[in-house]
Amino acid sequence: MLSKPPMVDIFALAVSHGLLALAVWRLLSRDDLYDEGRSAPRRPFGRRGRKPDA
């Protein structure tokens, strides 16, 4: 008798691989990936619209 594959393991693999694929896709779609001469300063992640603390 064949047993069912563990659903949690398949779901965990699908989620982790999906997130990795999303990260690669976002990294490859960046404009500064192909421009070595320009290194524009970038804002830190998650700090949009905040003023720096004095």
Chain centroid, CA 43 distance in Å: 17
pLDDT 10s digits, 4-53: 766 778 889 999 999 999 999 998 888 777 766 666 666 666 656 666 66
Task: Give the pLDDT confidence score for residue 11 in this predicted structure.
Answer: 87
Question: Could you tell me the two tokens for 32?
Answer: 């500064």
Place of tokens 């320009």: 38
Task: Give the pLDDT confidence score for residue 3 in this predicted structure.
Answer: 76
Over 60: is that where the pLDDT of 54 sits? no
Q: Model-level pTM?
A: 0.51
Task: Give the pLDDT confidence score for residue 8 in this predicted structure.
Answer: 74
3-class secondary structure, 30: coil
37 phi/psi in degrees, rounded to 5: -75, -30
Is-contact 28 34, C-beta < 8 A?
no
Torsion of CA 35, 38, 42, 45, to 10 degrees: 20
